Each structure stands twice: as structure tokens, then as C-alpha cells.
């Protein structure tokens, strides 16, 4: 696995550097650090997944973390070109399927709603006017989304999504925010990474009991101290979505950083103010993420008989769908913006920026057309 990072921040990947939990500081509502410390005091060590779920739940509920003034920048916030290309990709699929009625645009973790605005504007140009569904848990971000999309319907999870038509589902930088578990090989077998308190700090310790059966793949032949990551939440969400798409038609488009072959090592990272920090410094005040396991998510979707396309590199995918031409036409329309458009295009597509780190994978219903943009890469 390559070095993990959010767009716009270099993050290292380490357990070290754990600083003191602010002792005796009681905030209202309680900080994630206090909720976690309290849970550990009551129940003993908690799994890394529980730690991450609490930390990110508090983090996303308490602020809008996006943009230069926030903690990290995402592709749709860099340029309208990103969402527009996704909209064209979706409209093309929909048109070639014969423009089915009752189509639903679904976005998982839509942030500020920017991607949806750009994508839906593009889709409308092709006569595609889906209903809008957002799966979002953060009240702060829901409010931002409502400013741009007053007609959207919000869902706490995917169970309540409509059942009466194809689902065109988009997830940009959503899966990386979902909780992961880590398993470490020791001389006495595989153990789960647990989060514990050491006086006023959070530290990671191996579980007392071995957990061989929880890992779900061959675990022999790994050297001691090997770390394997699993994201049961991501697997469950992908499985449920794939069931829906298999039944209702449509597609799931995932754009994120991750790996398409089984890998080892910790990819857990924390970003605050565009800088990497220790994931255990200040839970709830930084964005905790892990690399997305595209290999496993693809396999889950395949078991539901969806067709998998990619992963392809984001830069190549955007170029094959016409981002160069779109940048040129935007520059002709707004010559004063030319430098900013060139810079955004570079950031989204260049191999040293987001172009290679970010991967694009699609899962489509078996009777839907082959989507564009995947003649490169892929498993
Ligand atoms: N897709 C947006 C935002 C990415 S940040 C963009 O590209 O700009 C992650 C998004 O996922 C946020 O909207 C966050 O509130 C949401 N999110 C994180 N965990 C979630 C969960 N468990 N369920 C639903 N939404 C979640």
C-alpha cells in the first residue's frame, strides 16, 4: 500500500506521537476523547473500529471540514469539472440503457452538495432528471446540502432508499471515512488492535484473545507484526447496495484512495488543518481515514452478480471522459480564470497529485451497458 494521504495533505501512518488527553476538560457536548475514555473506563479496551466510528461521528457532526479553511479539500471542491464529468458518465449510462423512468441519483456522504450540483446540471443537459437522495449523518453538512438541493431526500443509511427504479449511486471520499478494524500477527496467533488508555493517553494494544476466524481470509505465512485491515461496515454497505442494484438496475461509482490487490500494513491516518497528525492525538477534531480495499468491495459486488469496472486511475479516467476538452472550453469562456483552471486540471489529473493516488471503480447491474472510462487499469 502506498503512503496514505488526503488530497492536499501529506499524511504519515504511525502509532507514535500520542499526546496527552486534555485532563479534566469537560466540554458541552462531550468531546470524542471523553466519550471514548468513558467507554474504555466502563468496558475495557475498545476495538479500533469503535474508536474510529465515535471519533468520526463527532467530527462530522460538529463541523464542515471541507475547503481551504477546513481540514482537507476534495475533488468536487477543486473544480466543477470533476462533478460535470461524473454527470456525463451517469447520463451516458442512462441514455444507453434506454432512458429508464424513475431513476434516482444517490450520493453517499455528499459533503457540501457540490458534486451533486455539477453532476445533476450535466445530466439535465442530456434530458436526465433523477430524483435526489443523500445518505448523510452530519447535521452540519445536511444543512449545507439543503442550501443547494432543497428538493433532496435525506437518508440515515441506505435501507430507506427508494425501491422503484434504477439507482445511480456516487461515493467520492466516503468509504475512506468508514471504520476499519486491524489485526496483527503475533507469535501466538492473530490479535485485534484495541484502543486503551494509558493514564491520559490513548494507546493501541493487541487483544487478549486470538481472532483468527474474524479475518476471513488465509492468514498463514505472514511474518510476525504484519497488520491486516478489514472494514466490515464498508463490506456491509457495499453488499446491501449491490443487492439493490442487482434488483433495481443502475450503478455504484466509488472514487477514493485505496488498493486493488490484497495488502498489508496500517493505512490509518488523521488530517487536521491540511496536516497529518497522529490518529490518537485528538479524536473528533481531525479526519480519520483508511485506504479503501477495492479488491474486497469488488468481490462483494461480484457475488451479487454485478459487473465490475476498474479500478482505474482518476487522472486517466477523467481524461478519457474529456476533462482536457472541458478545461479548454472553460478557459475560452473565462479567459481571466485560465490559470486557476489549468491548476485545478493539474491537481485532479496529474500522477503526482490526485491523478494516480485516487482510483475509480464502478459496479453495474449485469444487464446495464458497459460504462465509459475503464479501458485503462482494472483488475
Ligand atoms: N463526498 C464529499 C464529502 C467527503 S467527506 C466530497 O467529495 O466533497 C465524507 C462525507 O461522508 C461527509 O459528507 C460525511 O458527513 C459523510 N459520512 C461520513 N461517515 C458517514 C456515515 N457513516 N454515514 C453517512 N455519511 C457519512
Supply the residue whose CA is at minimum distance from atom 10 of ligand 1. 109
Whether 359 and 173 have beta carbons less than 8 Å apart is answered as: no
For 165-169, what is the mean pLDDT? 98
% of the chain beyond a pLDDT of 90: 83
Instruction: Give residue 174 CA to ligand 1 midpoint distance, Å.
Output: 5
Q: Specify the pTM.
A: 0.92
Ligand 1 pocket residue status of 145, Cβ below 6 Å: no
Write down the mean pLDDT value for the chain: 90
Is pLDDT above 80 for 26? no
Q: Is pLDDT of 368 > 70?
A: yes
Phi, psi of 314 (to 5 degrees): -55, -45
Is residue 268 classed exposed, middle or buried when 0-12, 13-18 and 19+ CB atoms within 10 A define those classes? buried
CA distance 235 to 293: 9
Please tell me the distance between residue 168's alpha carbon and the centre of ligand 1 in angstroms. 17
CA 141–ligand 1 middle distance (angstroms): 9
pLDDT of residue 210: 87
For residue 275, pLDDT over 50 is answered with: yes
Ligand 1 centroid to residue 118 C-alpha, Å: 17
Q: Does 135 contact ligand 1 (Cβ within 6 A)?
A: yes
Pocket flag, ligand 1, residue 74 (CB < 6 Å): yes
Confidence of residue 230 (pLDDT cuts 50, 70, 90): very high
174 lines ligand 1 (CB under 6 A): yes
pLDDT of residue 4: 37
**Cβ(49) – ligand 1 distance below 6 Å:** no
Question: What is the distance between the alpha carbons of residues 48 and 53, in angstroms, rounded to a whole number?
Answer: 9
Give the whole-angstrom CA distance, residue 197 versus residue 37.
7
Burial 284-302 (b: 16+ CB within 10 A, else e): bbbbbbbbbbbbbbbebbe
Amino acid at each position: 500500500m502506498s503512503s496514505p494521504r488526503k488530497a492536499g495533505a501529506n499524511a504519515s501512518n504511525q502509532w507514535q506521537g500520542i499526546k496527552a488527553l486534555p485532563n479534566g476538560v469537560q466540554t458541552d457536548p462531550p468531546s470524542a476523547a471523553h466519550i471514548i475514555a468513558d467507554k474504555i473506563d466502563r468496558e475495557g479496551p475498545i476495538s479500533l473500529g469503535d474508536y474510529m466510528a465515535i471519533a468520526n461521528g463527532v467530527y462530522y457532526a460538529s463541523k464542515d471540514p471541507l475547503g481551504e479553511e477546513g481540514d482537507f479539500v476534495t475533488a468536487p471542491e477543486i473544480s466543477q469539472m470533476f462533478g460535470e464529468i461524473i454527470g456525463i458518465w451517469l447520463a451516458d449510462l442512462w441514455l444507453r440503457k434506454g432512458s429508464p423512468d424513475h431513476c434516482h441519483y444517490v450520493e453517499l456522504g455528499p459533503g457540501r452538495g457540490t458534486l451533486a450540483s455539477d453532476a445533476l446540471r450535466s445530466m439535465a443537459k442530456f434530458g436526465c432528471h433523477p430524483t435526489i437522495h443523500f445518505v448523510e449523518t452530519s447535521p452540519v453538512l445536511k444543512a449545507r446540502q439543503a442550501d443547494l438541493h432543497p428538493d433532496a431526500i435525506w437518508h440515515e443509511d441506505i435501507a430507506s432508499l427508494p425501491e422503484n427504479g434504477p439507482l445511480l449511486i456516487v461515493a467520492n471520499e466516503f468509504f475512506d471515512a468508514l471504520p476499519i478494524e486491524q489485526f496483527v500477527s503475533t507469535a501466538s496467533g492473530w490479535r485485534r488492535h484495541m484502543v486503551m488508555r494509558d493514564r491520559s493517553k490513548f494507546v493501541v494494544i493487541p487483544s487478549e484473545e486470538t481472532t483468527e476466524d474474524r479475518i476471513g481470509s488465509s492468514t498463514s505465512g505472514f511474518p510476525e507484526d504484519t497488520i491486516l485491515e478489514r472494514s466490515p461496515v464498508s463490506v456491509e454497505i457495499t453488499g446491501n447496495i449491490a443487492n439493490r442494484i442487482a434488483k433495481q438496475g443502475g450503478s455504484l461509482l466509488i472514487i477514493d484512495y485505496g488498493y486493488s490487490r490484497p495488502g498489508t500494513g496500517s493505512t490509518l491516518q488523521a488530517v487536521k488543518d491540511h496536516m497529518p497528525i497522529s490518529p490518537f492525538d485528538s479524536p473528533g477534531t481531525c479526519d480519520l481515514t483508511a485506504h479503501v480495499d477495492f479488491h474486497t468491495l469488488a468481490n462483494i459486488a461480484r457475488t451479487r452478480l454485478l459487473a465490475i469496472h476498474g479500478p482505474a486511475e482518476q487522472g486517466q479516467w477523467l481524461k478519457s471522459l474529456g476533462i482536457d476538452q472541458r478545461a479548454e472550453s472553460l478557459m475560452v469562456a473565462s479567459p481571466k480564470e485560465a490559470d486557476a483552471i489549468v491548476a485545478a486540471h493539474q491537481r485532479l489529473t496529474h500522477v503526482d497529485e490526485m491523478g494516480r493516488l485516487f482510483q475509480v471503480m464502478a459496479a453495474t447491474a449485469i444487464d446495464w451497458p458497459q460504462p465509459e472510462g475503464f479501458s485503462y487499469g482494472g483488475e
